Amino acid sequence: MYFAAISAARGFLLLTLLLAWIAGNKASLLLFSSTEANLNRKARKLMTWAVVLTLSSAGVVGGIAWLMAITDSIFWRDRLLIPPLLIVPTVMIWTVSVPRLRKIRQATGRKTNSPLDLRLLVRASQPAIIAPYQFVALGALTGMYWTFTTTVPFDIWNGAIPLILLLIAGMALWLSHLNRSSRISLDGKAPANRPFMRLMRRLAVLVVAIALGSVPFYSALKASRLPETVSMAEGPMDNGSGMSLAHHNHSEAVTASAEPVKEISVDSLTGPAEGKPDVSYTLTAEKKTVKLASGRAVEAWTYNGQIPGPELRFKKGQLVEVKLANKDIEEGVTLHWHGLDVPNAEDGVAGATQNAVMPGETHTYRFVAEQVGSFWYHSHQDSREAVEKGLFGSLVVEPEEGMPADVKDITVMTHLWDNHGIAIGDNDGIQHIKIEPGTPVRLRLANTDDWIRQTYKLLGTTFQVAAIDGTELHEPGNLNKVSLDLITGGRYDVTFTMPDTPVTLNVGQGGKLGIVMSPDGNGELPKHAPNLPVFDPTHYGTPTSTPFDANSHFDREFTMVLDNQLGFFNGKLALNYTINGEVFPNTPMFMVREGELVKTTIVNRGAVDHPMHLHGHHMLVLSRNGEPVTGSPWWTDTLDTAPGEVYEVAFVADNPGLWMDHCHNLAHAASGMTMHLMYEGITSPYTVGTATSNHPE
Ligand code: C2O
Ligand code: CU
């Protein structure tokens, strides 16, 4: 609906621009009518054009009204600038142009074949007829500019400069028509109709406009180049406010803290430095050609020569030590524990919490796992490329006492290898697993792929979604015939008791990729997975108490507006994916203090989904599109916001540091859709930028 509404508004705007351009052109050529009859006909046609432009403009206004009817004002308040730009000139057409056209039609009512006399020439060339049509085109052009660049929060100059240019262009048009018209009355005859000269004149205007525009264009282009070195601990800040969807203003802005906060370096926020680890792993990053089950070879970047990397599995409370070595990945590597809220220095983000580990180097991570659940790890250096090529693996934290011995625990990581062919782990076909009836089964679904919203269909049994993003749900009910859609980075744990008959997990459209579980190890994957409704976590399970809820007092409130904007990124003109109107490194970081309760409203005004991932914290989802979450508390670390959606989430700032907050569609992150959460007083010795070896995305 949202997408349809914005598309309608944009489509009609483009249509209006084209039509008004044509109509304006026709109006300005009226005086070149060869005969009175010809002028009479052209005047009539222009009156028809008035109707056409009115309808098309009404389409734009209708699209915006539709948007207003179905969404919160944050989706359209800036777009309210557009209707007046179309309505005013349209009204001018009807009140100024049309009456004059009517007079011309009366004067030429006899439709003779005689050429226009001076009186008719002057009438046909008056600016009052021509300019209003052209003003519609100018208005539509300005509207188009705003549609692709206007940001929320609204930037006054982005609104004012096009308006000023619009006024100047409108005045220039009017004056040039006036000039031509008075020359006609002075000369007593029509000017020569020279289309070539007209074209040349227009080209000249275009060239001048481009020349004038190129100065700010190139300086903005240059300014957008990524800096050589920049510390993520410094830069523009957003201190939050009491800003909510109900009243958009910054009046309650939280000012910088009353008492200064002691400075702490990211480097000192490590896990336990002393003590013998309970579990230790060594992960060596290396390039390797790896074969999938089908025999297809993948030029991979691996941990320990395998794709995905080895599963890391340990128990809550254990001290874990992971030694990372880089054999030959020239781009550098790190290890980030996606969804596991470790101390900041162990978070593994190149340029934020450590330097990228270059070939021949090592880095050791030490932490105690405090959560139980399904997570994953991946490199956070050049992560778009690294994850795509295989630098990731499964990470499972079991309860202190371990998983019950009888549980069949199956990890399902779906990934697209080499840009074609999705696989579960390294198996790009159908797997068969023999499971005794009555066995409790836990499938740990994780979508590690970049673009895809992966669809999983579990057929042949009722089941529960036991956990989302590593957090158990409260009293999850039985599900049957629902599709589980996972966005990139997200995890669902699915549980069921093995029946006597086969159960199939179908990935994608069915028939090609999946798991057949059966008592005898046989069975078929259905050729076509049925169409099923999609699982909705907002009304699933039952409520239980949480440390805070939607009615709590929030110390900070932030708004995160996701959008597409025409702009500049790293020296290129691009349709950027923006957060609060900006791209990395210009997006203001969210500032918090330890202990605060923080609420964030995530709004997607763009055209595609954005699964936003906050490091180091789990967010409690409070509401979606104004509707509270009524089932089990839903904690997430990677939350997808679809176009037109608004989510309210909250978390406790209980893990000091510098924490990335980015779209986990890593291609979006790499093109600037990344920002961070920053605790006051935190400093970082690390830098990112073109002159450094740190490129976290
Ligand atoms: Cu899974 Cu910042 O990433
Ligand atoms: Cu995105």
Q: How many CB atoms lie within 10 A of CB 14?
A: 16
d(CA 517, CA 502): 6
Give the ligand at the shortest distance from the Cα of 490: 1
**83: Cα within 13 Å, side-chain hemisphere:** 13
* The amino acid at 195: P
Give the ligand at the shortest distance from the Cα of 350: 1
Give the ligand at the shortest distance from the Cα of 392: 1
Average pLDDT on 186-211 reads 87
d(CA 14, CA 10): 6
Q: pLDDT (tens digit, 9 = 90+) per residue, 5-14?
A: 989 999 999 9
Q: What share of the chain is helix, strand, coil (3-state, %, to 5)?
A: 30, 30, 40
Tell how far the Cα of 486 is from the centroid of ligand 2, in angstroms: 14
Measured from CB, residues less than 6 Å from any atom of ligand 1 are 336, 338, 378, 380, 489, 613, 615, 660, 662, 664
Q: Which pLDDT score, from 0 to 100, does residue 153 have? A: 66
Tell how far the Cα of 634 is from the centroid of ligand 2, in angstroms: 21
Which residues pair with residue 320 across a beta bridge?
Answer: 279, 367
Give strand ranges (E) for 356-470: 362-368, 373-378, 392-398, 408-416, 422-424, 430-434, 440-447, 454-459, 464-468
Tell how far the Cα of 321 is from the centroid of ligand 1, in angstroms: 20
Q: pLDDT (tens digit, 9 = 90+) per residue, 212-239?
A: 888 888 888 888 888 888 898 888 999 9
Tell how far the Cα of 219 is from the centroid of ligand 1, in angstroms: 33
- Domains belonging to the chain, first-starting first, are 2-191 (no CATH), 237-256+545-688 (2.60.40.420), 261-402 (2.60.40.420), 406-535 (2.60.40.420)
Q: pLDDT (tens digit, 9 = 90+) per residue, 83-129?
A: 999 999 999 999 999 999 999 999 888 878 888 888 889 999 999 99
Tell how far the Cα of 609 is from the centroid of ligand 2, in angstroms: 6
Q: Residue 258: is its pLDDT beyond 60?
A: no
Taking the CA of residue 349 as reference, the ligand 1 atom at the shortest distance is 2
Which residues, 6 or more positions from 298, have their beta carbon under 8 angstroms from its beta carbon?
A: 289, 290, 291, 292, 307, 390, 417, 418
% of the chain at pLDDT higher than 70:
96
Q: Which pLDDT score, from 0 to 100, does residue 247 have? A: 36
pTM equals 0.89
Give the ligand at the shortest distance from the Cα of 668: 2
Maximum pairwise Cα distance, the chain: 105
Q: Residue 256: is its pLDDT beyond 70?
A: no
Q: Which pLDDT score, from 0 to 100, does residue 390 have? A: 95
> Ligand 1: which residue has its CA nearest to atom 1?
338
Taking the CA of residue 376 as reference, the ligand 1 atom at the shortest distance is 1
Tell how far the Cα of 111 is from the centroid of ligand 2, in angstroms: 62
> Ligand 1: which residue has its CA nearest to atom 3?
338
**Strand-pair category, 464-468 with 638-641:** unpaired
